[in-house]
Amino acid sequence: MADSPTTPSTPAYGAGLLDHHLPLEARRLRALEAFADPGSRAALDACGLQAGWRCLEVGGGAGSVARWLAGRCAPGEVVATDLDISLLPRGVPNLTVLRHDVVGEDFPEASFDLVHARALLEHLPEREDVLAKMVRWAAPGGWVCVDGVIVVTSADGPRNACHRCLEALVALAGSMRADARWATALPRLLAQTGLEDVDVRCTPGRVGPGGNADLLLRLALAQTGPAMVAQGFIQPQDLTECARLLDNARYTDLAFLSLSAWGRRPPP
Ligand SMILES: C[S@@+](CC[C@H](N)C(=O)[O-])C[C@H]1O[C@@H](n2cnc3c(N)ncnc32)[C@H](O)[C@@H]1O
């Protein structure tokens, strides 16, 4: 086990645009948590999370889910992993923080009662292999729960600068070998891995004043907007027009869905 941050070993993740040391990244991860935590907690509760469970939180980011799991499963143990563990919580007695590359590294089969990841697999070109590994790490009768963030774009094309920026986010993700719509496949893929009792829930992310995903979109655009312009996915004025729209007291729109899917390894 390592307990110090090291250089990421999977160059594809974020292509340098989502590194933890960037000035806005910790805030962006916390905005993601504020948007997605209620849905993740509901999904984890639906798995029957209980005291005494051994839990694995993969790609834990800034750690809100890991911390919550540690509170809920005590005296059980939580292992929280990431390529960069600098933002994960320290000093929680039943929480072990581990630098671990989910693509290149492993855990022994059947090590955990619950294996969870959020907003991770869609970033990884090896996402289906990683999903299969996560299933193997769950004990028979144990649960696998995966949350993915879907960027919402309208089927009939962009109507305003905010829509153009959302389409650019999808294109930028593609250029980084991520897939901003992959999570829609999660229920089917979980069932195909042999999990039982597969179920799904969704949290809409609204932008505009007071929206639960408004800060997340603003920070995502502040951080990745220059790269989207440089790659020709939007014009610089799209970013300023989008910011103006988001500031408009009457603007409201759907920008993201956080989709949670879970299932159980067949009991012995
Ligand atoms: C978009 S963030 C999501 C963080 C957290 N799961 C959440 O939803 O709040 C993705 C996280 O996965 C981590 N990550 C990326 N590639 C990884 C890999 N190969 N193994 C483990 N963690 C990885 C990143 O460092 C980052 O912290």
> Does residue 118 line the site of ligand 1, with CB under 6 A?
yes
Q: Structure pTM?
A: 0.94
| Type of residue found at 216 | L
Q: Report the residue among 10, 13, 130 best suited for mutation to probe ligand 1: largest number of ligand atoms under 8 A from its CB.
A: 13
Q: Where are the domains of the chain?
A: 23-264
Q: Report the residue among 83, 97, 118 best suited for mutation to probe ligand 1: largest number of ligand atoms under 8 A from its CB.
A: 83
- pLDDT at position 12: 65
> Does residue 13 line the site of ligand 1, with CB under 6 A?
yes
| CATH superfamily assigned to domain 23-264 | Vaccinia Virus protein VP39 (3.40.50.150)
Q: Report the residue among 120, 146, 179, 258 best suited for mutation to probe ligand 1: largest number of ligand atoms under 8 A from its CB.
A: 120
pLDDT tens, position by position, 24-53: 999 999 999 999 999 999 999 999 999 999
- pLDDT at position 155: 78
Extract the residue ranges of the chain whose pLDDT is less than 70: 1-12
> Does residue 168 line the site of ligand 1, with CB under 6 A?
no
CA-closest candidate to residue 56, choices 129, 122, 127, 109: 109
> Does residue 85 line the site of ligand 1, with CB under 6 A?
no
Q: Give me ligand 1 centre to Cα 88, in Å.
A: 11
